[in-house]
Structure 1
């Protein structure tokens, strides 16, 4: 079945669903409404939507098909007139399945003995049918093969690593040695290293790539970097967020998944989101929001959970509460700062600070702005021959998580993002926390420049 393109709108009394299904017979349309669940089937299309409130089919409801445009317009009446249906533009949320309610599989009826009268059992057995007799006779025969105690398992040195969104993925880097994956820092051992080993590899690689002369050169001649810092991101000046047709198509192609993260996993997702948005902010600011062929490399290189499969938290005192402390936020950004000073073209601590401010503003503007940033990153990586893998194991699920679960619970509401954005805005990342003696290098270059100015003055 094919999920068709669709859009939703509403009036005070109705919800209108416009479905693009060209070259079909209107007589074959099957529409079903069950509370807040709407389903439509017309070969070869199938659409099932979960709305936030209930709908009904009555005399005011209608379905009209326009063969000239290929659109089927379904008008359904709201069960409560005047009730607002939220997030009708979040298509992935409408397509997401209903949350599963997990109930006990076994119910204890009574703890008393169930022994019965033997004569009664004989009577019931004689009353069994022929088929039931055959089942009992087969059960009396010993059909089992001789059983032996299995030998102890040989200890295995390595197991397949789990990584990506909620550690749901493995096997994507089995043949990474035969691809041109320049951002992979784990080599052919990406599928076997533990999280601690990955983190150690990441820190070691950052220290090896750090070049103090490169940093000093950008610090001394920072004219162009100051121009990058003064640039304003267009997403921060838009009055509203209206998704384009291309973005709507991207939403329709997102996977249909249900997530049940634990408390620590939810914390890790929030923290990972900030690091991903930092990489996006750096690339957008350095390219003036006009991605280049190097954008995919930049985004993956600056994101620890991509290049080193090392997601946060990086703070040793993380707790299970959703409220994130300022120390934990600061520790989360330290690897992003380090990578922005060791890998890309422009290496400036002031530029990294500006990118963190961008992340805070994205979060403060709400989930629609965050979702748009993630979709832009996804579009960049999806069109790369190698780095598309990071879109599969991270960005696809992050897009669904930020949209489809926006208000199923308070897990990803605008209020939560506002608190997170304020925490990112108020975070303090010191140069000493980066670990490369940045302050000493900056003081040395400032003293050198001062001495050169004094010599020039004496010559004059």
Structure 2
């Protein structure tokens, strides 16, 4: 079945779905409503939408086809007139399957005292039968096979998980593997794990990433950019368009077409996994804003390389993980924000052409403001990143294992309130040069004291410790 191009709007009493499905038989249209779930089928097109509020089938529901334009206009009646349906422009969220409620069985444990003395023999008999059960008993196996809704929780403090397979998982929520199996033969220049990418543990990935950053940091390059920063200052003064645009947001048709091609998965992360996803998002946006600034929003052939090199989750399969997460509502601290940004700062000072702490600071502020703009703006940035990576012969795999899933998750599961709080913490967090690990302040002081004198740089962060 083909998922057609569609848009949604609403009136006081209805939700209107406009579906582009040329050359169909209008008489064959089938519409089914199941509370919040609407299914529309007309051969060869199939559309299943999961709305935030319930719908009903009544005489006001209708479908009208215009053969000249190829659009099928479906009118669905709201169960409660005047109720506002949220996020009708977030197509990825509408396409996500409806979640099944977790059914946790309620079990009452009876002791021999509860049963009474007159039933003691019966209770003891049941206990004896239970103890004699084995995993081969047909009844037990049947019960286990059908008990798929039981909630299974792993302790967040249980330490590293047992590695039962040499195949390592990576990418969004560790859902992926195998993409880097032939990395040695694909000219993947940003892969820092080499042929071990499919087997490295998270600890090994972090160690290799740090070692590679230390190896690539060039003191002379850093000093040169610090002393002669005319171009960097121009990049820093360039206004980020997604931050400055205060008009009403509306997805472009080209963006909606890409959203339609995204995977339709239901993500069920644990609270700590969800917390970490917000931190990974920081690093993706940092790489995006860096490339956006140095190209002034006109990506070049070097943009895929730049974005991938600056993203630890891509180059070393090493996404940030919170070391101070507390269960409960997602609240972010300056300390974990600093820990998240340090690898991104280090990479921006070790790999690309322009290596400036002040430029990294500007990118951090861009990230903070983008997060405060909410899910829609962030999705637009991620779609632009996806477009850049998808058109590269090798680096498109990082779009598949990270960006695609992030585009869906941002629309379906992220919350604007959390994004805004995270953005505020980022904007008020102070990043210090001494935390980067390369004695940046000493290098700058030596450069300023050298013959020739200081440049006329207005690097306002040069006096930081």
The bucket for the TM-score relative to the shorter chain is: 0.7 to 0.9
Counterpart of 1:295? Answer: 303
Counterpart of 2:277? Answer: 269
Superposition pairs of residues 164-179 of structure 1, within 5 angstroms = 164-179=171-186
CA deviation string 1:392-437 (max 9, x = no partner): 11111111110022xxxxxx21111110000111111110011111
Q: How many residues end up aligned between the 2 structures? A: 409
Q: Distance in 2 between matches of 1:170 and 1:185?
A: 16
1:51 to partner: Cα distance: 0.9
Q: Distance in 1 between matches of 2:124 and 2:201?
A: 53
- Larger mean CA deviation between 392-401 and 157-166 belongs to 157-166
Q: Distance in 2 between matches of 1:445 and 1:2?
A: 62
**Alpha carbons 1:340, 1:347 under 8 Å: kept:** yes
CA deviation string 1:42-74 (max 9, x = no partner): 111100101111222323222110001110001
1:100 to partner: Cα distance: 2.1
Counterpart of 2:37? Answer: 37
Q: Distance in 2 between matches of 1:15 and 1:94?
A: 13
Superposition pairs of residues 271-420 of structure 1, within 5 angstroms = 271-313=279-321, 316-321=323-328, 322-405=330-413, 412-420=414-422
Q: Distance in 2 between matches of 1:201 and 1:100?
A: 41
* SS in structure 1 at match of 2:49: strand
Counterpart of 2:265? Answer: 257
1:173 to partner: Cα distance: 1.0
TM-score (norm 1): 0.85
Q: Distance in 2 between matches of 1:247 and 1:451?
A: 50
Q: Distance in 2 between matches of 1:337 and 1:320?
A: 28
1:106 to partner: Cα distance: 9.3
* SS in structure 2 at match of 1:86: coil
Counterpart of 1:81? Answer: 81
Q: Distance in 1 between matches of 2:21 and 2:359?
A: 48
For residues 338 and 64 of structure 1, do their structure 2 counterparts lie closer, same or farther at Cα, with a shift above 3 Å needed? Answer: same
Counterpart of 2:130? Answer: none
CA deviation string 1:169-216 (max 9, x = no partner): 111111111111000000000111110011000000000100010011
Q: Distance in 2 between matches of 1:244 and 1:316?
A: 39
For residues 36 and 449 of structure 1, do their structure 2 counterparts lie closer, same or farther at Cα, with a shift above 3 Å needed? Answer: farther
In structure 1, runs of 5+ residues without a counterpart are: 117-154, 406-411, 454-460
1:319 to partner: Cα distance: 3.8
- Asked if 1:62 is matched to 2:70, the reply is no
Q: Distance in 2 between matches of 1:89 and 1:372?
A: 13
For residues 53 and 157 of structure 1, do their structure 2 counterparts lie closer, same or farther at Cα, with a shift above 3 Å needed? Answer: closer
1:276 to partner: Cα distance: 0.5
Q: Distance in 2 between matches of 1:203 and 1:222?
A: 27
Report which of the two structures shows the higher radius of gyration computed on alpha carbons: 1
What is the RMSD computed on CA atoms of the aligned residues? 2.2
Counterpart of 1:442? Answer: 444
- Larger mean CA deviation between 284-293 and 231-240 belongs to 231-240
* SS in structure 2 at match of 1:422: helix
1:320 to partner: Cα distance: 3.9
TM-score (norm 2): 0.84
**Alpha carbons 2:37, 2:98 under 8 Å: kept:** no
Q: Distance in 1 between matches of 2:335 and 2:28?
A: 60
Counterpart of 1:138? Answer: none
* SS in structure 1 at match of 2:364: helix
For residues 84 and 157 of structure 1, do their structure 2 counterparts lie closer, same or farther at Cα, with a shift above 3 Å needed? Answer: closer
Counterpart of 2:209? Answer: 202
- Asked if 1:48 is matched to 2:48, the reply is yes
* SS in structure 1 at match of 2:215: helix
**Alpha carbons 1:267, 1:320 under 8 Å: kept:** no
For residues 51 and 10 of structure 1, do their structure 2 counterparts lie closer, same or farther at Cα, with a shift above 3 Å needed? Answer: same
Q: Distance in 2 between matches of 1:57 and 1:74?
A: 12
CA deviation string 1:319-357 (max 9, x = no partner): 445212111101110000000000011100000000000
